[in-house]
Structure 1
Amino acid sequence: MGKLAQKKTSFKLSTILALISLVLLAAACGKAEADPTGGQEAGKIPSVLRIGYIGSTKLNLPGGAEGWGFYTGITKQELQKYGITDVQFVGFPSGPDLSESLISGRIDIGSLGDTPAVLAKSAGAPSKLITLNAANSNAFILAKKGGPASLAELKGKKLSVKKGSYMHRYVAGLLKEQGIKDVQLIHLLDEDADAALVRGEVDAIATTEVRGLKMIPQGYPVLDEALKDHPDLVGGSITVVSESYLKKFPDLPKVWNDLRVKALEDLQTKEEDYYAFLVENTGNSLELVRKTSAISRIQKETFTDKGLQQLEAAKDFLVSDKLAENDFSIEEWIAK
């Protein structure tokens, strides 16, 4: 049996609902055990703040203004004024994994793609939206060498996509728009997907901008680029907080966003230092981080009209395509 046969999980798009339901059930069973604050009363700010992000970095920090603020000490120093003396970062391979930990109380805040956050919220996750970090998260569909030469040729083929991610919504929307059916979607995490494409065990992969730009020079054909070919299907990055933590620190949204803006204003005066931080943190080249993590992509405003419209559109698609379990109000989701 091949390696892909041992690892792959074929799925229909509707199975994301079962995934979120299981997450909520697990949270109900284990939340008390996961809370290191010992059930502190509402209104008392815990000394520990646990922050989740997507990826695995050398410094165990996210990028963007948030990561820069903690890297330089700007944010950590300010949080100490509120009694937060221990900040812990946890990297996750995907948004659904991060959502599970937020629901179960293992982390307090999480930055992730809009799609997994919406899917979790639609299934009843007790979270509040505090920031739209960035819009226009790009993605690629890459084919294996000698494989499909167009999107239409994906019919009857195997396409790898990380289930529940913003790329999942991109793929679902793209296939629906193009009228392409009978595509076997296979759930693989990033490194497994790359390896499967190299070995020819899948016909194509949906991948992030960073990973795509690394593979394209190796000769893997681009079948589609979200930002260029289908900008209405790009993703966004958002930050959510658990409702239980928000009860203990009601001012968190304002404090968090004020510190994010302060860190952004600082890094804008130290561009070379910021990009050097990203190179050290990710291990990627300076050229790549400048292209994929340009400072101009970081939003200063907590919420923009464009960002909210994009988030609303993502939610509406997921609901109408029956990927999201229930509709809900974006306005009511926002922490006040």
Structure 2
Amino acid sequence: MTNQPISQPRFQRGRRQALQLLGTTAFSWALADHYAHAQAKPVSSAPDQLRIGYKKSAVNLVVLKQHGVLEKRFPSTKINWLEFPAGPQLLEALSVGSLDFGLTGDSPPVFAQAAGKDLRYVGAEPPKPESSAILVQADSPLKTLADLKGKRIALQKGSSAHYLLVRALDKAGVAWADIQPIYLAPADARAAFERKSVDAWAIWDPFYAATEVALTPRVLSSGEGLSGNNSFYLASRTLVERHPQLIRALFDELTRADQLVQTSRKEAVQLVAAFSGLDTNVVNRFIARRPSSPTTLLTPAIVADQQRVADAFFRLGVIPRQVRVADIVWQPSASEYASYAQLSPSIVPAKG
């Protein structure tokens, strides 16, 4: 019997899958060892069910999901994971009672609050200004932000990219009325960008990284110096009022997951790639842009920054009413805060 040669594409695909499995296994061992030595404090009260919303770029949540960390920490609670393409869709689900907890960028909570949605800011990750950008084609005649005047720009309405574009136009002295915003979800925006039916695209990771790898576009501007691109954890009022200790425990586990991502970057890339189906080059690119991201309470500085986001959208008439961000920021009681202080001594309660 003659041995048949293995085709190069088939061999490469098999090798890539093997490497992803190896990386994921190594990360699993590291995670198991990490949690074996971690002192996980019990939670006095946990709900029967916890529904968590996430996106592919929510690295810390992905780590917890893939390794069943929360299922082990809260054995009496059924953990349901629901994936969303962007923050606006996630917060709509949270506001109608289909979710309990989730992570979004800076703009979606502003739109939700302005629409009277019943939810609470409970935590934040550090700014990630390099994780979003305004992209143009490599051969585009657009060279500066001022060149966006009169152009068709794709973006997800109410997303962090929306605020990035607002700030970019402000910096360039271009009025919002002088552009043509084309509101599209990321997948549709990518298709429009590829067809060149839009002149530019405001987008965030991992869609940003995937487009860089596939199309080699030109970055007209990242969020650096324009938008902090903050990430927020939001929760239902019911979860906040009935299970505050659970939220503290979630922060604990999310921060531990982030510590492991920072110390085992290669394995983290393999794990997220295997989970998401994204190419490892894409995952490596967007994780490299992501700073250390422990989960903390909202500080006064974070609340003030988020208020600037809300005020910008109100000035443009994009949201129907002015909102005070601090009104829906969770304020833990003294005893609850004492627990946080032990975990993150540098964090102080947010004031309105």
TM-score, normalising length from structure 1?
A: 0.74
Q: Would you say 1:198 and 2:231 are equivalent positions?
A: no
> What is the total number of aligned residue pairs between the two structures?
282
| Structure 2 residue matching 1:297: 3-state secondary structure | coil
| Residue in structure 2 matching 1:211, options 207, 211, 220 | 207
Comparing both chains, which one has the higher relative contact order based on Cα–Cα distances under 8 Å and sequence gaps of 6 or more?
1
Q: Would you say 1:141 and 2:134 are equivalent positions?
A: yes
| Residue in structure 2 matching 1:71, options 58, 66, 72 | 66
Q: Would you say 1:315 and 2:300 are equivalent positions?
A: no
Corresponding residue of 1:259: 253
Corresponding residue of 1:226: 223
| Structure 2 residue matching 1:233: 3-state secondary structure | coil
The question of whether the paired residues in 2 share the 8 Å contact of 1:131 and 1:239 is answered with yes
Structure 1 position 239, deviation (Å): 0.6
Greater radius of gyration (CA): 2
Please show how residues 269-288 of structure 1 align to structure 2 within 5 Å: 269-288=263-282
Q: Would you say 1:186 and 2:182 are equivalent positions?
A: yes
Identity percentage of aligned residues: 24
In structure 2, relative to structure 1, the CA distance for the partners of 1:194 and 1:70 (3 Å cut) is closer
| Structure 2 residue matching 1:205: 3-state secondary structure | strand
| Structure 2 residue matching 1:49: 3-state secondary structure | strand
Corresponding residue of 1:112: 104
**Unmatched tracts of structure 1, length 5 or more:** 1-42, 56-61
| Structure 2 residue matching 1:293: 3-state secondary structure | helix
TM-score, normalising length from structure 2?
A: 0.71
| Residue in structure 1 matching 2:243, options 241, 246, 249 | 249
Corresponding residue of 1:93: 85
Structure 1 position 306, deviation (Å): 5.4
The question of whether the paired residues in 2 share the 8 Å contact of 1:148 and 1:154 is answered with no
| Structure 1 residue matching 2:182: 3-state secondary structure | strand
Q: Would you say 1:297 and 2:292 are equivalent positions?
A: yes
2:222 counterpart letter in structure 1: E
Q: Would you say 1:160 and 2:146 are equivalent positions?
A: no
Structure 1 position 293, deviation (Å): 1.6
1:222 counterpart letter in structure 2: V
Give deviations 1:80-99, integer Å, cap 9, x for gaps: 2xx31x21111112221111
Q: Would you say 1:51 and 2:45 are equivalent positions?
A: no
Structure 1 position 216, deviation (Å): 3.9
CA distance in 1, matches of 2:283, 2:207: 12
Give deviations 1:131-185, integer Å, cap 9, x for gaps: 1024124222222454442333322221111100010011122223312242110
The question of whether the paired residues in 2 share the 8 Å contact of 1:74 and 1:263 is answered with no
The question of whether the paired residues in 2 share the 8 Å contact of 1:133 and 1:298 is answered with yes
Give deviations 1:198-235, integer Å, cap 9, x for gaps: 212111111224333443463433322222xxx23231
1:323 counterpart letter in structure 2: V
| Structure 2 residue matching 1:234: 3-state secondary structure | coil
**Unmatched tracts of structure 2, length 5 or more:** 1-43, 333-352
The question of whether the paired residues in 2 share the 8 Å contact of 1:122 and 1:328 is answered with no
The question of whether the paired residues in 2 share the 8 Å contact of 1:161 and 1:185 is answered with yes
